[in-house]
A and B are shown apart, each in its own frame.
Chain A
């Protein structure tokens, strides 16, 4: 449904853009319909940048994003509007997603003005009501209220309902439950699982491994803008290969087992070159003989639908 082909985002920093910062570095993956793909990374990994590039909120420096086979990297005007009819997003902070001085319904009215200017009031009301019901809320309870009168969970469902007003096929869910309370977040997550069953493709951006495991078919592990490992969620979680993924798995607090003690590496031992493996400085198995410090490893398919970018695990390396 949607595929990224060596998508890169470079920011120019320093006086007159003297230095460049690669927030996203040649990331490629596909998302099929009826599937949730988790994009997992820590802060600064570039995961939200990828979501925003898909939503055309940030421009792409190089590479291409294809939607249903069509290059959508540089849309504008009506074509972009048509794209938004199919592709929508929900963001992390429910309170920041609403204009605080207007009622929450405004997110619906905006969609109506732009996409359904000719629709009759009654028909529109039915459409809104059915969208709200399909995200498990009672329209009477939530319509006509100000954002601060609704809970975070309700606000996030509201945004999903907004997306459903359009004919969406693809949803970018950027950390949508990380700011919700434990008792309500799981219901929003379940809602995504329901949407998936309706044939939607979803990019679920998260830093939380357990959420990713709960919801997704495929996972992409991102480190400093580069894909470290990706493939079927099952395979990655039961059999992590990249040292970074392994470290993540060992550090995540779980409820079924305690941490293995043994300190996690916090300080870098040696700095590699910018062209080297992004994980080089923290990697316990890095090896200069393999070129870890000088060349960035490319993704290799070690088993069907399981890719890793690490010289240690190259098939014939």
Chain B
């Protein structure tokens, strides 16, 4: 097991009260797994991803345990986490376009950053240059300022930098959403290549675009309103989902080959609940076509088949 999360609970402290962004979350990831983390905006996917590496106020740790390669991550302690960041766990942030200091040459910035972490830049330079080649960047970018690079180039540069110390876990936050389709494909494929080369042992890919995950992820974890809904292999989530939310979500996605005149897709009526004061029990209850009395209790996230977890009373029952 690469990553094991038990009962992780994260709230946001706001002036109106606590936003229950992530309810008791338990799941694990295998070594070498690329796990897609998907859901609508505000479902808690970014909260989950960020809490593992960089939990800054107003994010608030409410309990739970995170084990990476068997070692506990002190995610609630900003200072103690520093030892793990970059070396054991790393992130490609959503804002990769602005992630580099605009007034430093990229190479200089990297060397200063590595120096501050006790890594010898000179020693790692050949490897850095090799990896730049892998993402189709010339080594001359090290002598450039970030503004001289295009969006896609910056994205790839950050990708190389974030994984330079071969972290065990990489969190990739919406890395394709700002890119055009061509760059999107290239970046997504490079991520897989990085995993294959062992630049990161496993990765969590946070995105709202499920079709990208279908292309690159080994497994997909679907979240809804701060709760886990379903986790299974990519094929299963796409072709044989069992949670009602996943089913409705997947069936609402238009794909090439479907025309409105031939086959009308339907969305999910209603809106996700506000997390400031969410309903008790299953948070999908109000929009769920198969909800019943029991759903006022929160369903546990249980394994219904090997590698297939669901949090739904209906599905859990039929199998139990």
Contact = CB atoms under 8 A, between A and B. Distances in A.
Q: Do chains A and B touch in the complex (CB under 8 A)?
A: yes
Interface string A237-256: 10000000001111111111
A267 interface: yes
A210 B267 contact: no
B211 A253 contact: yes
A27 to B, nearest CB: 19
B254 A254 contact: no
A181 B41 contact: yes
Contacts of B260: 189-190, 193, 214-215
B180 A255 contact: no
B255 A258 contact: no
Interface string B157-181: 0000000000000000000000011
A42 interface: yes
Contacts of B248: 183
Contacts of A211: 254
Contacts of B211: 210, 253-255
Given A214-B258, A237-B256, A248 B181 contact: yes
B209 interface: yes
Interface stretch (B46-54, B184-192, B289-297, B298-306): B184-192
A36 to B, nearest CB: 9
A261 interface: yes
Interface residues of A, number: 40
Nearest to B176: A253
How big is chain B's contact interface, by range?
35 or more
Q: Which 3 A-B residue pairs are closest in the complex by CB-CB distance? A: A183-B268, A253-B211, A181-B40
Interface of A: 42-43, 151, 153, 181-187, 189-190, 193, 207, 209-211, 213-215, 237, 247-256, 258-259, 261, 263-267
A254 B256 contact: yes
B208 A182 contact: yes
B266 interface: yes
B252 A213 contact: no
A214 B259 contact: yes
11 contacts: A182-B208, A190-B265, A190-B266, A193-B264, A214-B254, A252-B181, A253-B185, A253-B188, A266-B182, A266-B183, A267-B136
Contacts of B264: 190, 193
B121 interface: no
Chain B CB within 10 A, most for which of A182, A193, A251: A182
Chain A CB within 10 A, most for which of B40, B255, B256, B266: B256
A264 B253 contact: no
Nearest to A258: B215
Contacts of A207: 180-181
Contacts of B265: 186, 190, 214
B2 to A, nearest CB: 24
Contacts of A190: 260, 264-266
A183 B259 CA distance: 18
A251 B256 contact: no
Contact of A253 (B152, B180, B209, B257): B209
A253 B267 contact: no
A10 B41 CA distance: 37
Given A251-B185, A255-B238, A266-B152, A181 B208 contact: yes
Given A183-B248, A183-B268, A259-B185, 20 more contacts: A181-B41, A183-B267, A193-B260, A193-B261, A207-B181, A211-B254, A214-B265, A215-B259, A251-B182, A251-B184, A254-B214, A254-B256, A255-B210, A255-B211, A256-B256, A258-B215, A259-B215, A263-B136, A264-B182, A266-B136
Interface string B31-42: 000000000110
Nearest to B211: A253
B5 interface: no
Contact of B189 (A214, A263, A265): A263
Given A209-B256, A213-B254, A252-B256, A151 B189 contact: no
A261 B188 CA distance: 11
Contacts of B215: 253, 258-259
A280 B61 CA distance: 53
B255 A266 contact: no
B182 A182 contact: no
Contacts of A193: 260-261, 264
A290 to B, nearest CB: 23
A264 B186 contact: yes
B271 interface: yes
Contacts of B254: 186, 189, 210-211, 213-214
A86 to B, nearest CB: 24
Contact of B252 (A42, A182, A266): A182
A215 B136 CA distance: 36
Nearest to B136: A266
B67 interface: no
B256 A213 contact: yes
Nearest to B213: A253
Contacts of B259: 213-215
A151 B41 CA distance: 12
Contacts of B209: 253
A89 B136 CA distance: 41
B276 interface: no
Contacts of B271: 151, 153, 184
